[in-house]
Amino acid sequence: MAESPDAGASGAPENEATYSGTIDVPERHRVDVDVLCAWLRERVPDFAGPLTIELFRGGQSNPTYKLTTPGAAYVMRAKPAPVAKLLPSAHAIEREYRVLAALGRTDIPVARVHALCEDESVIGRAFYVMEYVEGRVLWEQSLPGQTARERTAIYD
């Protein structure tokens, strides 16, 4: 299990580059792109390929993918494979999807969720797809490098 990154003088983790961005999808996390594209075309409004898939770095629980097309970008959260080794309540991406969908019907700003797939025959595991939203990652909950006023604004 990876340890939390240490913050440098700037407040950003010294090894932020290790955890940020995307990488090529390793073999153990690969999915059938054609099957996924067909599934997305049926469920995501205005989806049109071709599709590029990358894996976000730094996650520890569920593989999280960046899906990019010429016109849009998405995030796909999936259960790890093989699913058979998971406890029934572990890696509850279905619950994540339902919570995000419910929050999306409020004034709380969250990424729009598009679709949930619980049919493991599609890509070998359950997954959901949401919009990709650019933003910054706050690596340390103590928010080093931020003023007291900035920390208050972030937490409020």
Strands 52-56 and 64-68: antiparallel
**Spans of all domains in the chain:** 16-155
pLDDT at 149: 94
129-140 pLDDT tens trace: 999 999 887 778
Residue 88: which pLDDT band, with cuts at 50, 70 and 90? low
Whole-angstrom Cα distance, residue 123 to residue 69?
19
Q: Which residue has the tokens 């939203």?
A: 133
pLDDT at 14: 53
pTM: 0.81
CATH class of 16-155: alpha beta
> What is the overall mean pLDDT for the chain?
86
Q: Which two tokens stand for residue 16?
A: 């932020």
pLDDT at 2: 39
pLDDT at 55: 95
35-70 pLDDT tens trace: 999 999 999 999 999 999 999 987 767 899 999 999
pLDDT at 85: 67
Q: Is 127 helix (H, G, I), strand (E, B) or coil?
A: strand
